[in-house]
Amino acid sequence: LQQALNNEFHQRAIDRQCITLVTQVLVDADDPAFANPTKPIGSFMDEAGAREFEKDGWQVVEDAGRGWRRVVASPEP
């Protein structure tokens, strides 16, 4: 992402730079959020696509009438 943004800035003659900052947070493996993932992530998909991802172990939900999305846990830090 950083490289793509810096390339775009260069192409548009924008005198800016983008940096990447990687962080990590320690969470409790026993946090109840892992039992009930609720945070939608990623692109929207149709129901058939969502069902295919379920076969790979993903949890998916219908998201506000806009399509289906994967959900992940959002534990407390």
22 belongs to a structural domain:
yes
Number of domains in the chain: 1
Which residue range(s) make up the domain with 49? 2-72
77 belongs to a structural domain:
no
Q: Identify the three-state secondary structure at position 8.
A: helix
pLDDT in tens, 12-52: 999 999 999 999 999 999 999 999 999 999 999 999 999 99
pLDDT in tens, 43-72: 999 999 999 999 999 999 999 889 999 999
50 belongs to a structural domain:
yes
